[in-house]
C-alpha cells in the first residue's frame, strides 16, 4: 500500500493526521496536479487527451466521469482509449483490459471500465507505458487520474462529490483533498458533480427478505446515506478497504441467507462467494458545456493528420 493509500485509509477511519505537515505539503500538492507525461505524437501532431481527476483521495467519482467521457467521445466518432489504473493489481506490461480479466491482474476499476465501454481500456506498470500503448490504438485518450498533463489539446475535468465536493476541506495529510480548492479550480477546465445515489431498476432490490450491503469503496458512508434517502436500510453493512482485497473477517460476514447490495466495482470482490448479488448502477449525464468541449477535442482527434498511423 502506498503512502497516499495509507493516508486515505487512516482518514476513512477518522484517524487524525498532523495539521502542520499538511500546511507544509499544500504548495507541493498544488504543483502535483499537473503530471509530467510524454504525449504520443502521430505525424507530427500531439494526440488530444482528456484528463479526469478527483478532488479527494477517494470517493469523488472520477472513474465514472472518465468512463462517461470515453463513451461520449466514442459516440462522436473518435477512436478512444481509456487509460485506467490497476490499483492493488500486478500488471507487468501495458495491456488492453479484457472484459472478463482477473481481478488480481487488472484491478476492480479497470475491469468495471472494460465491461462498461465498447473500446480499449488500457493499464500498465506505469501511466507512461499505458499512454504509449493508447497512442498506438486511438486518436483521443481519456486519462483517469491526473487533473492535467502538459501540452496542447488537453481538457481537464475535476470530479467532485455532489454532497461533499471538497471532502474534509483540508489538504492531505490533514484531510482528504488532493490540493487546495483554489488550486484545483485553477487547474480544471470543468467541474462535474457526481451523485452517490444509485439508480435502481424495477427489480433491482428484492421486495422482501433480508438485505445486506457490501462495499469496497472510499467513503462508504455516502452510499449508505444515499440508500437511506431511497428508503433502503440494509443490514449488516460489510465494508473493506477501497479496492479490496476481501479478507477472511469480511468473508465470514458475507452469508448466503440474504441478498447483498453492491456497486458494480464492489461486486467484483464477491465473485466466488456464492451469494446473491444485487448490483447498484450509477450513470452520469455530463453537463452540456463538457460535451461541447469534448466535441471540439474529438474533431482534433478525427483530423486526418492525427488519425493516420
- Section 25-54 average pLDDT: 88
Give the model's confidence band at 200: pLDDT under 50 very low, under 70 low, under 90 confident, else very high: low
Same domain, 295 and 159: yes
**Structural contact between residues 194 and 58, judged by C-beta atoms closer than 8 angstroms:** no
Q: Is residue 206 part of a domain?
A: no
Same domain, 257 and 299: no
Same domain, 27 and 141: yes
Give the model's confidence band at 122: pLDDT under 50 very low, under 70 low, under 90 confident, else very high: very high
Same domain, 40 and 118: yes
pLDDT of 1 > 50? The answer is no
Same domain, 186 and 242: no
Q: Which residue has the higher pLDDT, 306 or 43?
A: 43
Q: Is residue 201 part of a domain?
A: no
Q: Is residue 42 part of a domain?
A: yes
Q: Is residue 271 part of a domain?
A: yes
Element (H, E) at 93: none
Domain that includes residue 229, residue range: 211-280
Same domain, 45 and 173: yes
Share of residues in the chain with pLDDT > 90 (%): 66
Range scoring the smallest mean pLDDT among 119-133, 222-236, 294-308: 294-308
- Section 127-133 average pLDDT: 96
Q: What is the tally of structural domains in the chain? A: 2
- Section 289-294 average pLDDT: 97
Same domain, 112 and 163: yes
DSSP letter at 105? H
Question: Which residues lie closer than 8 Å to 160 by C-beta, 6 or more apart?
Answer: 54, 55, 56, 60, 61, 166, 191, 192, 193, 194
- Section 179-201 average pLDDT: 91
Range scoring the smallest mean pLDDT among 115-124, 270-279, 290-299: 270-279
pLDDT of 202 > 60? The answer is no
Task: Tell me how far apart the alpha carbons of residues 84 and 67 are, in angstroms, rounded to a whole number.
Answer: 10
Give the model's confidence band at 30: pLDDT under 50 very low, under 70 low, under 90 confident, else very high: confident
Same domain, 45 and 148: yes
Range scoring the smallest mean pLDDT among 150-154, 191-195, 200-204, 264-268: 200-204
Give all strands (DSSP E) within 18-144, no chain letters. 41-42, 45-46, 49-54, 80-83, 95-96, 120-123, 140-144
pLDDT on residue 35: 92
Q: Which residue has the higher pLDDT, 233 or 204?
A: 233
Q: Is residue 204 part of a domain?
A: no
pLDDT of 145 > 70? The answer is yes
Q: Is residue 131 part of a domain?
A: yes
Q: Is residue 233 part of a domain?
A: yes
pLDDT on residue 269: 95
For 35, other C-beta atoms within 10 Å of its C-beta total 16
C-alpha cell at 205: 432490490
C-alpha cell at 227: 440508500
Same domain, 80 and 63: yes
pLDDT of 21 > 60? The answer is no
Same domain, 30 and 78: yes
- Section 122-146 average pLDDT: 96
Q: Which residue has the higher pLDDT, 149 or 209?
A: 149
Same domain, 94 and 176: yes
pLDDT on residue 284: 87
pLDDT of 11 > 60? The answer is no
pLDDT, averaged across the chain: 88
Give the model's confidence band at 303: pLDDT under 50 very low, under 70 low, under 90 confident, else very high: confident
Q: Is 162 exposed, middle or buried (0-12, 13-18, 19+ CB in 10 A)?
A: middle
Same domain, 100 and 140: yes
Q: Is residue 202 part of a domain?
A: no
pLDDT of 2 > 70? The answer is no
Judged by phi (left if over 0) then psi (alpha if -120 to 50, else beta), residue 44 lies in: left
Amino acid at each position: 500500500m502506498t503512502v497516499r493509500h495509507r493516508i486515505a485509509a487512516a482518514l476513512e477511519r477518522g484517524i487524525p493526521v498532523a495539521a502542520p505537515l499538511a500546511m507544509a505539503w499544500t504548495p507541493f500538492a498544488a504543483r502535483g496536479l499537473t503530471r509530467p507525461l510524454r504525449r504520443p505524437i502521430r505525424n507530427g501532431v500531439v494526440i488530444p487527451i482528456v484528463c479526469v481527476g478527483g478532488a479527494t483521495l477517494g470517493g469523488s467519482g472520477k472513474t465514472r466521469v472518465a468512463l462517461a467521457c470515453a463513451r461520449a467521445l466514442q459516440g462522436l466518432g473518435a477512436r478512444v482509449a481509456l487509460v485506467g489504473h490497476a490499483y492493488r493489481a500486478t500488471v507487468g506490461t501495458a495491456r488492453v483490459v479484457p472484459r472478463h480479466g482477473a481481478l488480481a491482474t487488472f484491478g476492480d476499476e479497470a475491469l468495471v471500465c472494460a465491461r462498461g465501454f465498447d473500446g480499449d481500456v488500457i493499464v500498465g506498470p506505469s501511466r507512461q507505458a499505458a499512454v504509449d500503448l493508447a497512442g498506438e490504438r486511438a486518436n483521443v485518450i481519456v486519462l483517469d487520474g491526473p487533473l492535467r498533463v502538459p501540452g496542447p489539446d488537453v481538457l481537464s475535468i475535476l470530479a467532485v462529490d455532489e454532497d461533499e465536493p471538497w471532502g474534509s476541506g483540508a489538504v492531505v495529510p490533514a484531510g482528504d483533498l488532493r490540493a487546495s480548492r483554489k488550486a484545483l479550480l485553477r487547474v480544471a477546465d470543468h467541474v462535474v458533480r457526481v451523485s452517490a445515489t444509485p439508480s435502481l431498476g424495477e427489480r433491482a432490490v428484492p421486495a422482501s427478505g433480508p438485505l445486506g450491503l457490501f462495499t469496497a469503496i472510499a467513503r462508504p458512508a455516502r452510499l449508505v446515506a444515499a440508500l437511506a434517502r431511497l428508503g433502503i436500510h440494509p443490514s449488516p453493512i460489510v465494508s473493506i478497504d477501497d479496492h479490496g482485497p476481501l479478507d477472511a473477517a469480511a468473508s465470514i460476514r458475507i452469508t448466503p441467507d440474504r441478498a447483498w447490495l453492491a456497486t458494480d466495482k464492489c461486486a467484483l470482490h464477491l465473485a466466488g462467494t456464492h451469494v446473491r448479488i444485487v448490483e447498484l448502477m450509477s450513470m452520469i449525464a455530463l453537463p452540456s458545456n463538457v460535451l461541447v468541449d469534448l466535441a471540439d477535442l474529438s474533431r482534433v482527434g478525427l483530423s486526418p493528420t492525427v488519425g493516420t498511423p
